[in-house]
Chain A
Amino acid sequence: DADVTQTPRNRITKTGKRIMLECSQTKGHDRMYWYRQDPGLGLRLIYYSFDVKDINKGEISDGYSVSRQAQAKFSLSLESAIPNQTALYFCATSDPAGGDTQYFGPGTRLTVL
């Protein structure tokens, strides 16, 4: 079984809809992250959480919110989706021991029409 799972893997939605992307991990890591990937732009950090009570904005948090329901679960919400939020979204986890290597989920491809 994969260590970091994301659901759904693909989602098509309409402008104005609320969308939630979910991430679960079995690695036992405290730190979790949400990124978006756009062609030619690499990965950009949306939000990150260093433990259940810690939530921090990344470089592109506008239009997004997150919830850390448990150590293993970190959800990303788009309150009112817009077309320029069409992208590939990745969840990642890390452990500060060993240089904080990040482990990525398989991604969610979101299309906003």
Chain B
Amino acid sequence: AQSVTQLDSQVPVFEEAPVELRCNYSSSVSVYLFWYVQYPNQGLQLLLKYLSGSTLVKGINGFEAEFNKSQTSFHLRKPSVHISDTAEYFCAYMNTGFQKLVFGTGTRLLVSP
């Protein structure tokens, strides 16, 4: 079955520390990959996306992600987090032929002083 796995439901980190949020997908065909962020009491906002080309994708707010086809991963990274990065982060993929997003279960990033 096609799916997205976010192994960590919650990631606590101190301010200014680096962070990596993990995402693995399962698909037998080509995919587009996305990271969305949901701040408290808000909708989802696109952080970054991989469609093709360079496997290192840079997004908003200093986040980046690397597409690794052999490991079917699309981990999200930030070298130095801020308190304002506290939010829930969703990884999602879309089969290039189906136009439907499949979401992971989300990772809650908790940044403390």
Contact = CB atoms under 8 A, between A and B. Distances in A.
Nearest to B102: A45
Contacts of A31: 99
A104 interface: yes
B67 interface: no
Contacts, number: 50
A109 B3 CA distance: 26
A102 B47 CA distance: 12
B44 A42 contact: no
Contacts of B94: 99-100
Interface residues of B, number: 20
A50 interface: yes
7 contacts: A40-B106, A43-B90, A96-B99, A98-B51, A100-B94, A104-B36, A104-B43
Interface of A: 4, 31, 33, 40-45, 48, 50, 58, 90, 92, 94, 96, 98-107
Interface of B: 9, 32, 34, 36, 42-46, 49, 51, 90, 94, 99-101, 103-106
